């Protein structure tokens, strides 16, 4: 089963009571509520990534620490979710924030999918638009443990010994040439660079499955390869996990990612290209 839906498929699902979550978030505009109020998919509930899909934490926990199951469950209930609901999530920037919601909710046992191409694809397809806030009744969904596939910093350090650890950031950040957000430039020793952008077409939709499989094969990943992903703060890594799921490969995530690694004294730093 695909973890993605097209705009056409979502339009058809709306008549079946699907729940829709709007998870707009960008680094330059972390609060997407104003954009949501100006226009969203009818019935969509706004989700705040910073406060509902993350939690406050120390610098050595990373910029988007993993929230507790209880925190996400409380948020999901406030969005009106109930056990058995089918959920579709979307955002307006490359599917990154939507993938974070997909990761947490799917690990919690929710049947959740991502709108391929997000808000832009919905508009391009001529989908209906609603303004203001959606009305809904709080739900009673129960989530299971969401942290089972999340690596600790020590597990991330050891992972290249037994599998492929993907660094999903831009190549120049991986090589340590620049670092706009975190205190030290470079990457985790043994990691392989596979920027998330290689999986997307120009319109922001996913490339075909054969292309995606080739991307992963290029860094040594096959159907049976243990895989984990990290990025700057754990958001983009969820997108890599989503793409891996589309080709049938389960992945773990190091949620603390480079923001935790680079803020933890004594951690080794690698620079330059990876070797394979």
Q: What tens-digit pLDDT sequence spans the chain (276 residues)?
A: 799 999 999 999 998 989 999 999 887 777 889 999 999 999 999 999 999 999 998 989 999 999 999 999 999 999 999 999 999 999 999 999 999 999 999 999 999 999 999 999 999 999 999 999 988 899 999 999 998 889 999 999 999 999 999 999 999 999 999 999 999 999 999 999 999 999 999 999 999 999 999 999 999 999 999 999 999 999 999 999 999 999 999 999 999 999 999 999 999 999 998 754
Specify which residues 29 forms β-bridges with. 26
**pLDDT of 63:** 93
Known catalytic membership, residue 189:
no
Distances (CA, A) of 202 to 33, 147, 198, 199, 217: 26, 33, 10, 10, 22
Q: Which residues of 229-241 are buried (b: 16+ CB within 10 A; e: fewer)?
A: bbbbbbbbbbbbb
**pLDDT of 276:** 44
Annotated catalytic residue within 49, 231, 244, 249: 231
Pseudo-torsion of CA 122, 125, 126, 127, nearest 10°? -40
**pLDDT of 45:** 97
CA 35/CA 225 separation, integer angstroms: 40
Pseudo-torsion of CA 103, 244, 240, 110, nearest 10°? -10
**pLDDT of 15:** 87
**pLDDT of 275:** 55
Q: What is the gyration radius of the CA atoms in the chain, in angstroms?
A: 18
Distances (CA, A) of 23 to 87, 93, 109, 274: 12, 10, 19, 33
CA 95/CA 242 separation, integer angstroms: 10
**pLDDT of 224:** 93
């Amino acid at each position: 089963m695909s973890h993605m839906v097209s705009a056409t498929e979502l339009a058809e699902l709306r008549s079946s009571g699907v729940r829709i979550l709007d998870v707009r978030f960008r680094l330059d505009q972390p609060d997407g509520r104003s954009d949501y109020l100006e226009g969203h998919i009818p019935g969509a509930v706004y989700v705040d990534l910073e406060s509902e899909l993350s939690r406050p934490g120390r610098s050595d926990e990373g910029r988007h620490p993993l929230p507790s199951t209880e925190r996400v469950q409380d948020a999901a209930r406030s969005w009106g979710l109930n056990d058995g609901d089918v959920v579709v999530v979307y955002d307006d920037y490359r599917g990154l924030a939507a993938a974070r919601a997909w990761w947490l909710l799917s690990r919690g046992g929710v049947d959740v999918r991502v709108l391929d191409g997000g808000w832009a694809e919905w508009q391009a397809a001529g989908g209906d638009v609603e303004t203001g806030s959606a009305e809904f009744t709080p739900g009673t969904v129960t989530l299971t443990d969401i942290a089972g596939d999340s690596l600790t910093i020590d597990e991330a350090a050891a992972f290249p010994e037994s599998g492929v650890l993907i660094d999903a950031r831009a190549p120049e950040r991986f090589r340590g040439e620049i670092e706009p957000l975190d205190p030290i430039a470079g990457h985790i020793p043994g990691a392989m660079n596979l920027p998330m952008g290689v999986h997307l077409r120009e319109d922001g939709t996913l490339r075909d499955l054969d292309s995606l499989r080739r991307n992963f094969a290029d860094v040594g990943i096959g159907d049976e390869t243990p895989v984990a992903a990290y990025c700057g703060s754990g958001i983009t890594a969820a997108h890599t996990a989503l793409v891996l799921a589309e080709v049938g490969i389960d992945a773990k995530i190091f949620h603390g990612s480079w923001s935790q690694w680079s803020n933890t004294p004594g951690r080794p730093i690698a620079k330059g290209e990876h070797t394979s």
